[in-house]
Amino acid sequence: MKPPASQPYIGIKPPGPKTRALLRSTGDPIDPFPPIWGIPARNQEGPWIEDVDGNIYLDFVSGKCVANLGHRHPTVISAVKEQIDHVVLGATENRFTLAEKLADLVPGRFPKKVFFGSSGSDAVDGALKLARWSTGKPNILCVSGAYHGQTYGALSVSSTWNWMVRGFHPLPGVFHLPPPYCYRCPFKLNYPSCGLQCLRYLTETMFTTFCPPEDIAAVIIEPIFGDMGWVIPPNEYFLELKKLSETYGFLFIADEVQTAFGRTGKWLAMNHLGLVPDIVCLGKPIASGFPLSAMVAREDLTIARGLHFQQSYTLEANAPACAAALATLRVIEEERLLQNCTKLGKHLLEKLNELQKKHSTIGDVRGRGLLATIEIIKDAETREPGIQAAKTICRLALENGLYTMFMGAFETASIRIAPPLNSTPAIIDLGVGILDKALSQAEKILFRNP
C-alpha cells in the first residue's frame, strides 16, 4: 500500500481479476463479495485494507470487531516481533501476566481462573462445560437468534441462521428464550409497558412446563446481541435475568467475545450495567488479530467434588498472541481509547440519526460506543426487512471504497458499523459519507427514484 492511505482508492471494480482467480481456485462464490471471512488482502494498515488487486478500502467493521486498534498497530507488531525472536511455542511469562490482567479486568471482587484457547467458540464451549461440570445440572438457557460460534457447544446455543444447526443435531439440554429485540418484539409489545414479557415467558411458561429452573446450569448471553443485528435490549433486561439466575441458582455467562476491550467505551459491555457475571468469554480483539481467547471464571466454580476443572489446547496462550494481547491492553490505556470510543460513538450515532432522516430504508439506528448499526427495511409501516437492499448497499459501499457487512437473525438485515477505537472524527465522517452515497445509489436502483 502506498503509505499513508488517507482516502479509499478503487482502481478496478471489486472483486478484481486477481481476487476472482483466488476465489475460483477454492470454489468460493464470487457473488456476494466479500465472502463472510473477509477480503483477500495484500496490505493492512490502521483502518485501511488493500486487496490483492490494489483497491484500498476503509474498514468500517475493524475486521469483524477484531482490529480494535486498527490493523497492525505498531506497538502490537513490535511486541510480536520481539517475542518471536525468542519464543514462539508454548508459555512465556506473558501468559501469567495476561491471566492476572484479564482476571482484574473482568468484574467481580473474587478469585478468578483464566482458561486460554484460540477462538471465541472454544471459550464458549469451555464456559458451557464448566457450568454443567460445576453445578452438576444438565440444562443451558440461551437466547433465540443469538450467535456464540460454531464449535459443537457454541453452535448448540446459537440460532442466528438455521444453516448453523441444520443436520448437526445440536447438544441436548439447550433451551432458547424469546429475543429481547424491542424493534421487532416477538410479543408485539412496547418497552417498558411490556413488563419484560420476554423474561416473563421464562418464569411463567418455560419454568412451569418444559424447563424446570432447578435443572438449569447456566444462561449464556451477549450484552449486545451481535449477529442477531446488534440488538441492544434495555439494561433492565439483563439486571432482571441476573436476579433470576441468583434466585433460581443458575450461573450467568457473559459472552463478551465481540463486545469487550473497549468496543462500547468500557473494558466490557457488562460494565455499563454494573453487572458481575460468573463466567466471561473473551476473544476476537483480545490480541488484535493473533488467535487467542479466554474463559474467565469464578475460581470456586473450578473445584467441585474434590476435583479441578480441566481443559487444555495444544496451541492455547501461544507466545506471540499473548505478547500481542498485553500490547493491546497497553495501547487501549496509553492512547485513552475508551474515552475516544465514547466520544466518537456519540458523534457516530448523531451522524447515523441524521442519515435515518434522509433514507427511508433505515428503519432503526442502534449503537453503544463504536458498535453501531442501521437496520434496513423495505417499508416503514410494516418494518419488512430489506435483505436485498442491505446486500445492494454493502456492495455499493464497497465499490465506493467502504468495507462493511450486514447481519441479522429472523431474516432481518442490519449493517455493521464498527470502526477502530482510535478513529478520528474525519474517519467517521468519511465512512458515514460513503454509506450515505451507497444508500442513495441503492434507493435509486431499488425504488427507481429519478
Ligand X SMILES: Cc1ncc(COP(=O)(O)O)c(C=O)c1O
- Residues that bind ligand X in the complex, under the rule CB under 6 A: 119-121, 124, 147-149, 222, 226, 255, 257-258, 283-284
Residues in contact with 262: Cβ distance below 8 Å, sequence separation at least 6, in sequence order: 68, 285, 332, 337, 338, 341, 369, 421
**d(C-alpha 413, C-alpha 421), whole Å:** 24
* Minimum CB–partner distance for residue 188 and ligand X (Å): 27
Least Å from the CB of residue 445 to ligand X? 30
Beta bridge partners of 298: 112
In angstroms, rounded to a whole number, what is the distance separating the alpha carbons of residues 169 and 155?
A: 10
Residue with smallest beta-carbon separation from ligand X: 120
Helix (H) or strand (E) holding 16: none
Query: CA 332 to CA 347: how far, in whole Å?
Result: 20
E strands in 286-348: 293-298, 303-304, 307-308
Contact present, 185 and 383 (Cβ < 8 Å):
no
Q: How far is the CB of 284 from ligand X (least distance, A)?
A: 6
Q: How far is the CB of 227 from ligand X (least distance, A)?
A: 6
Cβ distance to ligand X smaller for residue 15 or 153: 153
For ligand X, give the closer residue by CB, 377 or 413: 413
- Least distance to ligand X from the beta carbon of 174, Å? 15
In which residue are the cell numbers 479509499 written? 8
Cβ at position 224, least distance to ligand X in Å: 9
Q: Which is nearer to ligand X, 226 or 386 (CB)?
A: 226
How far apart CA 159 and CA 156 sit, in angstroms, is 8
- Smaller CB separation from ligand X, 233 or 283: 283
Task: Pick between residue 218 and residue 432 the one whose CB is nearest to ligand X.
Answer: 218
Residue 433 contacts residue 77 (beta carbons within 8 Å): no
* CB 170 to ligand X: min, Å: 15
Cell of 449: 427514484
Calculate the alpha carbon distances from 62 to 171, 222, 258, 363, 436 in Å.
32, 19, 11, 24, 19
Instruction: List the beta bridge partners of residue 140.
Output: 174, 218
Q: Compute the least distance from the CB of residue 240 to ligand X, in Å.
A: 21
Q: Output 196 or 254, the one with its CB closest to ligand X.
A: 254
Residue closer to ligand X (CB basis): 37 or 210: 37
Residue nearer to ligand X on the CB measure, 221 or 438:
221
Q: Which is nearer to ligand X, 143 or 421 (CB)?
A: 143
Q: Which of 230/250 has CB closer to ligand X? A: 230
In the complex, the smallest distance separating the C-beta of residue 185 from ligand X, rounded to whole angstroms, is 22
Order of strands, edge to edge, in the sheet holding 371-376? 362-368, 371-376, 414-417, 406-407
Task: Give yes or no for a contact between 207 and 141, defined as CB atoms under 8 angstroms apart.
Answer: no
What are φ and ψ of residue 382, in 5° steps? -90, -15
- Compute the least distance from the CB of residue 146 to ligand X, in Å: 8
Strands (DSSP E) contained in 347-450 are 362-368, 371-376, 402-403, 406-407, 414-417
